[in-house]
Amino acid sequence: MMHATTSPLYAICASNDVAVSMMDGNSGLSLTQEVIDEAVDFRQAMARLYKEFTADGSWVFKPWN
């Protein structure tokens, strides 16, 4: 670990170390792409639901963006 702390929030520092290790190399690219793909899928699903609910004249919040 590169940094030391006397804080009771040592678990956050340990979590950051684990996250850095997970993002190292090709696994980081893979994890990042997976998150992006899931976000795009979610936004597309929200757009489909919006179109479905507004097609029959129902009122619904419009998803942002």
- What average pLDDT is seen over the chain? 87
Q: Is 41 exposed, middle or buried (0-12, 13-18, 19+ CB in 10 A)?
A: exposed
pLDDT-based confidence at 58, cuts 50/70/90? confident
Q: Does residue 31 surpass a pLDDT of 60?
A: yes
Stretch (H or E) spanning 29:
helix 26-55
Contact 32, 39 (CB under 8 A): no
pLDDT-based confidence at 11, cuts 50/70/90? confident
Spatial separation of the C-alpha atoms in residues 57 and 65, rounded to whole Å: 21
What ranges do the domains of the chain cover?
10-55
Bigger pLDDT: 54 or 65? 54
Q: What's the pLDDT score for residue 57?
A: 85
> Does the predicted TM-score (pTM) go above 0.85?
no
